[in-house]
């Protein structure tokens, strides 16, 4: 069973004005589709075929560039679409709110720290909020399509919130203004989904 491009669950224009429809459509149908196709090609006929993406990444040979880049790209975007929602965003609450306040003091301080990680990632990559076993949360960032599920990459743990800071994610609408795109992202974060992922992973 090959990996399939997941549906967004909302229309390409649903995140406007924060993230524009043209960017969303290209990002989903070209970039994410490309990672999906290339991942399938990279694992076809190998013992990785048929395994869950989380298992492939957790046991990854980091020298396998095709699976590292495309498996990461497949997983990262699949998570990214779900942590944004135009309508039912919810709000930071419950155990996740407690964990974030323990680690960062307040929601605003957390957003500032996450935004700094995203803004200062040089070149292409991602910012993450990860949860470790026991429930402690930690912010980190990764280069290219790496993610903290991969062996020895960044803060480790399970990513529950991710922000794509590749230029393809924002350049049409924001050009070089990555900080404006990061601010806009926090207007569409789906806290219900982040909390669901926290509860599942902690």
> Contact positions toward Mn ion, by CB under 5 A?
31, 164, 166, 169
Rounded CA-CA distance 122/179 in Å is 13
Rounded CA-CA distance 201/56 in Å is 17
Judged by CB, which is closer to Mn ion: 19, or 99?
A: 19
Judged by CB, which is closer to Mn ion: 77, or 197?
A: 77
Residue 44 CB, shortest distance to Mn ion, in Å, is 23
Judged by CB, which is closer to Mn ion: 74, or 104?
A: 74
Give the residue ranges of DSSP H helices in 3-122: 21-26, 33-43, 53-58, 65-82, 94-104, 107-120
Residue 136 CB, shortest distance to Mn ion, in Å, is 28
Judged by CB, which is closer to Mn ion: 49, or 124?
A: 124
Tell me the residue nearest to Mn ion as measured from the CB. Answer: 164
Residue 164 CB, shortest distance to Mn ion, in Å, is 4
Rounded CA-CA distance 172/174 in Å is 6
Residue 29 CB, shortest distance to Mn ion, in Å, is 12
Judged by CB, which is closer to Mn ion: 164, or 195?
A: 164
Residue 35 CB, shortest distance to Mn ion, in Å, is 8
Q: How many Cα neighbours within 13 Å face the side chain of 36?
A: 16
Which of these, 103, 101, 82, lies nearest to 190 by C-alpha position? 82
Rounded CA-CA distance 155/50 in Å is 27
């Amino acid at each position: 069973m090959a990996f399939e491009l997941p549906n967004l669950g909302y229309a390409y224009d649903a995140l406007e004005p924060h993230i524009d429809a043209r960017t969303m459509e290209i990002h989903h149908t070209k970039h994410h589709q490309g990672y999906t196709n290339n991942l399938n090609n990279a694992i076809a006929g190998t013992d990785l075929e048929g395994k869950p993406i989380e298992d492939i990444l957790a046991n990854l040979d980091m020298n396998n560039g095709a699976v590292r880049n495309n498996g990461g790209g497949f997983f990262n975007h699949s998570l990214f679409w779900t942590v944004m929602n135009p309508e039912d965003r919810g709000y930071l609450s419950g155990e996740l709110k407690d964990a974030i306040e323990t680690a960062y003091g307040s929601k605003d301080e957390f957003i500032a720290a996450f935004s700094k990680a995203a803004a200062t990632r040089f070149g292409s990559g991602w910012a993450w909020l990860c949860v470790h076993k026991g429930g402690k949360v930690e912010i980190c960032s990764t280069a290219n399509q790496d993610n903290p599920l991969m062996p020895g990459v960044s803060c480790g743990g399970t990513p529950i919130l991710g922000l794509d800071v590749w230029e393809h994610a924002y350049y049409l609408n924001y050009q070089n203004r990555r900080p404006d795109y990061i601010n806009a992202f926090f207007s569409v974060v789906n806290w219900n989904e982040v909390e669901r992922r926290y509860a599942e992973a902690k």
